[in-house]
Structure 1
Amino acid sequence: MEPKWLAWAKQLQAIAQAGLAYSKDVYDLERFEEIRKLSTEIMSEYTGVEQTVIRELFANETGYATPKVDVRAVVFHEGKLLMVQEATDGKWALPGGWGDIGLTPGEVAVKEVQEEAGLVVKASKLLGVLDKKCHPHPPSPYHVYKFFIQCEIVGGEQKTGIETKDIGFYAQEDCPALSIGRITASQIEWLFTEYQRPSAFARFD
């Protein structure tokens, strides 16, 4: 579970963002700007990151605040799970990334596998939609829903992309060091269970 201070900071940011988008009164706009500043100060105090950086990352959006969407492709082959080594931290995750405007979640999953692993896949099943704050990920400035979409290989060949350093298929007991901002050990365990005993229903929490 995410720390209380982070939940409060994100809630304050969401209130401020909506207020700045829809309020007309100049005094209300000033108050909402103060709330946004307070949320930035909280984040800076607990993370040690300068307020200017946090404002660009954490308090730069407009309109009604909604969760971001992270799409992850789940690709099994002969009982092993496709994973990619991230160029940013050298650790491993499922192919995936932020949802793209104009693409369905399934199309994002297909695109990410081809870009990060060189394989052509087709999306076949939604396995789950997980709220990142309910899982043991590191604290995140954004509220994130994670879509896990099962895909089947139909072509292509393994090759790295701009964002990946290596590619491999791994058994559960052989999984490499995880990029836990993207995937956790408990989520890997769930995906192998789903592969061995598929459920009729998508998981959500």
Structure 2
Amino acid sequence: MQEEKWLNWLAELQALAQAGLAYGRDPYDLERFAAIRTLAVQMLSDLADLPEGKVREVFANEKGYQTPKIDTRAAIFKSGKILLVQERDGNWTLPGGWCDVNLSVAENTIKEVKEEAGLDVAFERLIAVLDRNKHNRPVSVHKICKIFSLCSVRSGVFTENLETVASAYFTVDKLPSLAEAKTNKEQIAMCFKAYADENWQPVID
């Protein structure tokens, strides 16, 4: 819990420094913002026991005002079961991933299902927009919004690909080992509830 607090503080400190570098004009202020950003990287490097270069690469490599990243996840049902895909490490998750810059949330959801599950689907309705760090572990140094959507299958079959090695449907009480950082049991249970309720109101953090 203490580590989570420090991660949140350091992420906010880095974001403030990044905004200052983007919008500052005074050269002395820009120098101070750069120093603050470097200090945040050094602190996280020490906290996570990782090389500074690696921390800077994933934690402080962007320009402009920092905004959350978007992760889209699709809930697809058949015969009362939900579709999960198995990643190469053996864990399972709802099909999905980062939202590409040239795609809408619905378009990206459809694309990810095609890539990971081999299915052509239609976007039906929104289930939830969740703050990842409030629900998934381990916590991330990036602010991430996870968008869950109900989709229906039109056609297609699974084919092993670069990201996933299998796909299968599961009941909510017999789930496989999950990639908890991407999809957890509570989120899958939420999708089951949304599927069963035609009047479902999206959950938004």
Offset at residue 136 of structure 1 (A) = 3.5
Tell me the residue number matched to 1:157.
157
> Does the C-alpha gap of structure 1 residues 30 and 74 become closer, same or farther in structure 2, counting only changes over 3 Å?
same
Q: Deviations over 1:12-47 (max 9, x none)?
A: 110011111111111111111111112112211221
Q: 2:25 maps to what in 1?
A: 24
C-alpha distance in 2 between matches for 1:20 and 1:38:
14
Amino acid at match of 1:182: K
Match of 2:80 in 1: 79
Residue pair 1:5, 1:42 contacting (<8 A) in 2 also: no
Q: Which amino acid aligns with 2:119?
A: L
Classify the secondary structure of the residue corresponding to 2:111. Answer: helix
The CA deviation at 1:185 is: 1.4
Please name the residue that 2:52 is paired with: 51
Partner SS state of residue 121, structure 1: strand
Q: CA deviation at 1:139?
A: 1.5
CA contact (8 A) 2:85 2:166 kept: yes
Question: Per the alignment, in what secondary structure is the counterpart of residue 5 of structure 1?
Answer: helix
The aligned counterpart of 1:197 is: 197
Secondary structure of 2:121's counterpart equals strand
Show the 5 A alignment for 1:78-117: 78-87=79-88, 89-117=89-117
Aligned equivalents of 2:64 and 2:140: distance in 1? 20
Counting only pairs closer than 5 Å after superposition, residues 62-73 of structure 1 correspond to structure 2 as 62-73=63-74
Structure 1 residue runs of 4 or more that deviate by more than 4 Å after TM superposition: none
Gapped regions of structure 1 (runs ≥ 5): none
SS across alignment from 2:178? coil
Letter in 2 for 1:192: F
Structure 1 residue matching 2:71: 3-state secondary structure: strand
- What number of residue pairs does the alignment pair up? 204
Shift of 1:198: 4.1
SS at match of 2:165: strand
Tell me if structure 2 keeps the 8 A contact 1:137–1:183: no
Contiguous gaps of at least 5 residues in structure 2: none
